[in-house]
Copies of this chain bind each other. A is one copy, B any other.
Amino acid sequence: MIKVGIIGATGYAGAELVRLLLNHPQAEIKWYGSRSYIDQNFADIYRNFFELVDASCMDDNMEALADQVDVIFTATPQGYLAGVLTEEILQKTKIVDLSADYRIKDVSVYEKWYGITHKSPQFIQEAVYGLCEINRNLINEQTRLIANPGCYTTCSILTAYPLVKEGLIDPSTLIVDAKSGTSGAGRGAKTPNLFCEVNENIKAYGVTSHRHTPEIEEQLGYAAGHEMTINFTPHLVPMNRGILVTEYASLMKKVTYEEVKAVYDRYYKDEKFVRVLPQGVCPETKWVEGSNYVDVNFVIDERTNRIVMMGALDNLVKGAAGQAVQNMNLLFGLEEATGLNLVPCFP
């Protein structure tokens, strides 16, 4: 059994990790780290785990933890892991970081968008960007540090990746209009996240300035073979879970539905967790809820010579905890989908 520690176990992403790992046949949670709830029963904080988890929350002592577990998931605020990570820790345990600390290779880009100084840039190059569908061959039992992708990022990248990689769309025209459920905002007690403020409402936020922008640009830039600049606009939707992205780009040449479909299929037909939907079916977040799937599809607009790409995932699963478990599986040589046979829950 893989011994697991979670730092930040009482955030929504941390709790989702617990949900998934409880049914994972080869992992066992040894440490429920939560600085806010030290010594409190974890199942008192998340009552869905009543009688399923019998453990108290622990302080987040990375060094002590590294001695005890095989892998640490850090579901922590930006800057936390960068501030405590050491070579000693990495020699003792693997780390899957759900924060953004090691996602962006250019530290100056990270520091500009996040507004903080990176405390341990020496580990950035080693970290593998854990989007398994793209970087699978970089993740194995020798890998020590995974930068688990962001929720918006995973959805945005996987939706456009084949067409960017194949040069079918003009990267400079890419616009990502994203819509997210409210669990993405976390469990912090803030007025804008109150039920009455979110319910029956939709708004954009972080327009031109959301921190997932450079992450998308960097990863899609690798696919394009050159730097990219995009517009990314997130919106808050009155639902708990789910991200939908609607992406617009100009086509490089006239293409048919069948040609584009063939490209998507080439990249994804063997991918268990990416489903290219039948022609004419738009992805809906509800159809992937609770599961590790990303559903994608596209429509070609001959009138404007653009393509509209769409993708949907569950932000807490494929957008966070599910992908983290997928990475863990690769890190320990397990079958990649182990513990992730989650059938989407509808309605």
Residues of A within 8 A of B (CB): 12, 15, 19, 22-23, 44, 46-52, 175, 177, 179, 181-183, 187, 189-191, 193-205, 207-208, 229-231, 233, 235, 237-242, 244, 246, 248, 275, 277-278, 281-291, 295, 299-301, 303-304, 306, 308, 310, 312, 341, 343-347
Contact = CB atoms under 8 A, between A and B. Distances in A.
B207 A284 contact: no
Contacts of A182: 194-196, 199
Nearest to A306: B231
A324 to B, nearest CB: 16
Contact of A200 (B240, B278, B300): B240
Which of A233, A237, A282, A346 is most buried by chain B, counting CB atoms within 10 A of its CB? A346
B282 A203 contact: yes
A255 to B, nearest CB: 14
A239 B195 CA distance: 8
A202 B290 CA distance: 15
B238 A48 contact: no
A108 to B, nearest CB: 15
Contacts of A240: 195-196, 199-200, 347
B202 A304 contact: no
Given A189-B190, A195-B195, A231-B248, A207 B299 contact: yes
A295 B343 contact: no
B200 A189 contact: no
Nearest to A198: B195
B231 A304 contact: yes
Contact of A201 (B194, B246, B284): B284
24 contacts: A22-B343, A23-B341, A47-B277, A47-B281, A48-B344, A49-B343, A50-B295, A182-B194, A189-B190, A193-B194, A193-B196, A195-B197, A195-B198, A195-B199, A196-B347, A200-B239, A202-B237, A204-B244, A204-B282, A204-B308, A207-B308, A231-B306, A231-B308, A241-B347
Given A202-B244, A204-B244, A229 B304 contact: yes
